[in-house]
Amino acid sequence: MTALDVLWVGLGGGLGSLLRWWVGRVVGERYRGDFPLGTFLINISGALPMGYLSVLFAVDWHTRHGTALTAFCLTGIIGGYTTFSSMQMDAVKLAGTRGHGRAASYLGLSVVAGLLAAALGAALALAQR
């Protein structure tokens, strides 16, 4: 990790956060239910490429491109795109409106779907090799 890599993380994180904000807005305009669908879709759609690209970068591309690509794409863009804090904030709000059971199911569903998406992404990358 060099100073330049930190800048790549910052640039990627800015772009990823912008994408998160935009997806959240678009989903929020179309879906009016109680379920925090925006954050859920953001996190699952980020978990899949995280699994996929982590495998690709670690094994095949690392020697060619070094750490800059990982810093920009994985830590930066995808890391900034997905969010843990907003998910927890959604859960606390959901607990207030729909009770603790709903909040716990939302967190459980997010994590199980996220684990499956990340595993699927990694499996896809391994299958290609």
CB of 64 to another protein, least distance (A): 22
Binder among 56, 69, 73, 79 for another protein (CB under 8 A): 79
Is residue 124 a contact point for another protein (CB under 8 A)? no
| Residue numbers 22-41 binding another protein by CB under 8 A | none
Is residue 83 a contact point for another protein (CB under 8 A)? yes
**Cα(43)–Cα(122) distance, rounded to whole angstroms?**
16
For another protein, the closer CB: 47 or 69: 47
CA angle, residues 74, 80, 84, in degrees to nearest 5: 110
Is residue 107 within 8 Å of residue 87, measured between CB atoms? yes
For another protein, the closer CB: 115 or 128: 115
